[in-house]
Structure 1
Amino acid sequence: MAQNRWVSFHGWPAEALEFYEGLGADNSKTYWTKHLEFYETRVRGPMLELLAELEPEFGPGKIFRPYRDVRFSKDKSPYKTHLGAWLEGGGYLQLSAEGLAAGSGYYQMDSGQLDRFRRAVANDVAGGRLLSVIAEMAKAGIGVVGRDTLKTAPRGYPKDHPRIELLRHKGLITWTEWEPAAWLGTAAAKTRIVGFLRGGLPLRHWLDDNVGPPSA
């Protein structure tokens, strides 16, 4: 990602969060069109600047489309009430009226990844190492959470497996949220994000080594 390399990231103005407050109250094309220039320059623009600065360490970034997929949803609101971005080297960023959030890890594994993940967790060496990674990160104040967790043991694994809680997860990530604060409008926002992403690298490395990318 090469855009805006000559512009340094200085955070988001408070109005960027107010933009999403307004969108939450009036999720319409009329509101979106009226505020489109503001979105491009004061919401999406700073994210592009941030991704460009993060690229050398965390890889190219991509901003997700602002439009919701409403084909199979009862909620037909056309626009997302947050700005999301993905980092190729691992990481997810999100700005909304609630503030800033960041995550890292494997949010959703396909069937091949899930099979490799469970085999690794069940292995005493790899599974034991994952427990150590989670414990070490917890000491540093970074929690690891599972997502889309099964209510019981996955097929082929005993319910009394010593790492059954991990085996039940279909995704494993770190996640943090920061409430709106003055530092969001400064370069300190990047400092916090970098610190969090670096802190999540042990989990990312375990997943890369033991699970790997999605199946072709």
Structure 2
Amino acid sequence: MTFRGWPSEALEFYEGLSADNSKTYWTAHLTVYEEQVRGPMQELLAALEPEFGPGKIFRPYRDVRFSNDKTPYKTHLGAWLESGGYIQLSAEGLAAGSGYYQMASDQLERYRRAVANDLRGEELTKLIEVIENGRIGVHGHGTLKTAPRGYPKDHPRIELLRHKGLTTWKDWPPAAWMGTPAAKNRVVDFLRASRPLREWLDTNVGPSNLPASR
């Protein structure tokens, strides 16, 4: 399989799904989804695997059990990479992310200790600056309104300490290059530029050791 990009029909598919999120629309356009949307994503993941590990495409169906919004289908296609990367296609274009979106309690404890440490905390601050200078956003998630317990409000890295997740993210609006192999190059450049943050998190935080919740 050779990745050639997403044709314009892929974005048009999601434009239509956003307007008519129904089984009728989905069934009528299933071939477009399989061949023009999901197919190119599979090709991209295969092309990325040698450097970033295997990937997995998320299911297109929404979990509506606990949501007031009962529309059945996601209006984007998301894929996860073993190295921690994330790729998303929608009517708004292409996007990619990397990092730790939501840390478990044991991860959060290790993260805060590392941020508070002068050596490791300054290392994180500097690599974030480099990434942002490359026009990639670095975002905190689940951010507390005040300092976490046990940390002073005037800590020099208090903004980082307040986050419960930390990721890089890049949006690309619809453009002609998305229908070419250049789309892979954009994603690769993003993942490589984001790698220092992911490596810092892997080294200083790592995976959660808590039992998986049901």
TM-score, L = length of structure 2: 0.96
1:9 is paired with a residue of what secondary structure? Answer: coil
Kindly provide the CA deviation profile for residues 101-121 of structure 1, in whole angstroms up to 9, marking residues without a partner as x. Answer: 001111111111111101110
Indicate the residue corresponding to 2:83 in structure 1: 89
Q: Distance in 1 between matches of 2:205 and 2:74?
A: 31
Kindly provide the CA deviation profile for residues 164-205 of structure 1, in whole angstroms up to 9, marking residues without a partner as x. Answer: 100011110110100001000000000000001000011011
2:99 is paired with a residue of what secondary structure? Answer: strand
Following superposition, the deviation at residue 157 of structure 1 comes to 1.3
1:55 counterpart (37, 46, 49): 49
Q: Distance in 1 between matches of 2:190 and 2:197?
A: 12
Does 1:176 pair with 2:176?
A: no
RMSD: 0.9
1:75 alignment partner AA: D
Structure 1 regions of 5+ residues with no counterpart? 1-6
Q: Distance in 2 between matches of 1:120 and 1:94?
A: 30
Does 1:132 pair with 2:157?
A: no
Indicate the residue corresponding to 1:204 in structure 2: 198
Q: Distance in 2 between matches of 1:165 and 1:150?
A: 9
1:200 is paired with a residue of what secondary structure? Answer: helix
Does 1:22 pair with 2:16?
A: yes
1:175 is paired with a residue of what secondary structure? Answer: strand
Q: Distance in 1 between matches of 2:125 and 2:92?
A: 32
2:45 alignment partner AA: L
Following superposition, the deviation at residue 154 of structure 1 comes to 1.1
Q: Distance in 2 between matches of 1:214 and 1:50?
A: 29
Over 4 Å off, 4+ runs: none
1:125 is paired with a residue of what secondary structure? Answer: helix
2:63 is paired with a residue of what secondary structure? Answer: coil
Q: Distance in 2 between matches of 1:13 and 1:179?
A: 14
Indicate the residue corresponding to 1:195 in structure 2: 189
TM-score, L = length of structure 1: 0.95
